[in-house]
Amino acid sequence: MGTRLDRFFEVTARGSTVGTELRGGLVTFIAMAYILVLNPIILSSAADVDGHRLGFAQVSAVTALAAGVMTVVFAVVARLPFAFAAGLGINSFLASSVVGSLTWAEAMGLVVVNGLIIVAMAATGVRKMVFDAVPIQLKLAITAGIGLFILFIGLVNAGFVAATGSPSPPVGLGPQGAGSINGAPTAVFIVTLLVTGVLIVRKVRGAILIGLVTGTVLAVAVEAIWHLGPANEHPGGWRLSVPSLSGSPVAVPDLSLLGDVSFGGFGRIGALAALMLVFTLVFTNFFDAMGTFTGLSRQAGLADVDGNFPRLQSALVIEGTGAVVGGLASASSNTVFVESGSGIGEGARTGLAGITTGLLFLSAMFLTPVAEIVPSEVAAAALVVVGAMMAGNLRDIDLSDFSVALPVVLTVAVMPLSYSIANGIGVGFVSWVVIRSAAGRAREINPLLWVVAAGFLLFFVRDSLGTLFG
């Protein structure tokens, strides 16, 4: 068996061992396990257009299932040490910008459509062509903007900032935006954030997971002493889930969300609006995965000078399939996770590490009640940390040229300020083609970017057009 595994995954050929691969897969799972808490918190916190919310335990179960299945499939087909799970940018976009006008089933239908488009683009070679059309500055800006968007969501979920109800300032510190940070749950968030930050700068493996565990233990102790309860019943209480050790830590996973998908969103909000949402999903999925693939393959020493790595075409097709699987499972789009780099740093070089990570995710389905103990204030600290990491992409952009600086800053700023990833991408594209053209750089702009910018312009004025043309 060991020999067959070695030959199939090319373990020895890539300078690794079976033991190293198993250890690397375990480290990757530890680094990624926070998604089993964050994804259900993000998705279950938002009510759809009909007022329906997804169940926390249900989302946690399908999150583990989709991540496990996709990671194992990718490991077998692409034979690379990259793990999959629900992408934070996509799930935040669904919760904050999509389900306000659609049902959750319709939102997941858009995720499935998004995945099918990505698969088709990857299979036909169009995916690389579109990737080449967008300037690197905007690619980096979009990733950084999504990071700040996630960070802002974390601050809001923690009660660290809130709307003031006044135009100046519109947002203030504290649960009521009054300028004062108070309440034990927010204090738990601050402690968790600082502990996680210290662990990361000290390069402790699994820092985010350790921070979540530490914060959860502290939250359970705080609740046991002061009995704060939920915030909707007691001022100063926990915003979403109340940390409690009551009940069994093991349960049969509730997979009732599987297949709860509808494609009625195109009829509910109109084809143009739905297509623009799908485009945003495609774009976010597309560039996040391409950038992560490139970075991880280089870290593992598997990429050539052009950035290509073994079984590239298969990897791109499987990555698109992750969106389809995630949508069908109601877990949100699944994509390659940059946290796979932790396992690569441990020595993982093959798909055998991915098999290990995937099997651990599948076993985690039976531990859903444990995830419910973690309050949103604790999970929010991980959101802030991950958002800060993503925002770090700004360091690779030269902002000395104002024709670059303005579109980049607009892209990054509009996402969190308008609470919409789609708005940030659209403003960035439109401003890029206009400002760069005014600077005499029109010939450098790919024609495809003009088409996309024109589509976003129509999207921004769709209500006015609807009024104008009845």
419 and 368 both lie in a single domain: no
Residue 470 lies in a domain: no
Residue 450 is predicted with a pLDDT of: 93
Residue 375 is predicted with a pLDDT of: 85
Pick the last residue of a domain from 356, 371, 397. Answer: 397
- Tens digit of each residue's pLDDT (9 = 90 or more) over 200-210: 999 887 788 78
- Tens digit of each residue's pLDDT (9 = 90 or more) over 296-309: 887 888 877 666 77
154 and 36 both lie in a single domain: yes
Residue 390 in contact with residue 202, Cβ under 8 Å? no
Pick the last residue of a domain from 381, 397, 413. Answer: 397
Residue 470 is predicted with a pLDDT of: 55
Residue 166 is predicted with a pLDDT of: 86
Residue 73 lies in a domain: yes
Residue 191 is predicted with a pLDDT of: 97
407 and 271 both lie in a single domain: no
Residue 354 lies in a domain: yes
Looking at the structure of the chain, the number of domains it has is 2
Residue 415 lies in a domain: yes
Residue 469 lies in a domain: no
378 and 403 both lie in a single domain: no
Residue 280 lies in a domain: yes
Q: What are phi and psi of 104, to 5 degrees?
A: -65, -40
Contacts for 278 with CB less than 8 Å, ≥ 6 apart: 110, 113, 114, 117
Residue 264 is predicted with a pLDDT of: 95
Residue 96 is predicted with a pLDDT of: 84
The ranges of the chain with pLDDT < 50 are none
279 and 220 both lie in a single domain: yes
183 and 205 both lie in a single domain: yes
110 and 179 both lie in a single domain: yes
357 and 246 both lie in a single domain: yes
- Tens digit of each residue's pLDDT (9 = 90 or more) over 206-224: 788 788 889 999 999 999 9
359 and 407 both lie in a single domain: no
Residue 20 lies in a domain: yes
pTM (2 d.p.): 0.74
Residue 327 is predicted with a pLDDT of: 97
224 and 129 both lie in a single domain: yes
Residue 295 lies in a domain: yes
389 and 318 both lie in a single domain: yes
| Conformational region of residue 276, where left means phi above 0, alpha means psi within -120 to 50, and beta covers everything else | alpha
Q: Which domain holds residue 406?
A: 398-464
22 and 114 both lie in a single domain: yes
Pick the last residue of a domain from 397, 420, 439. Answer: 397
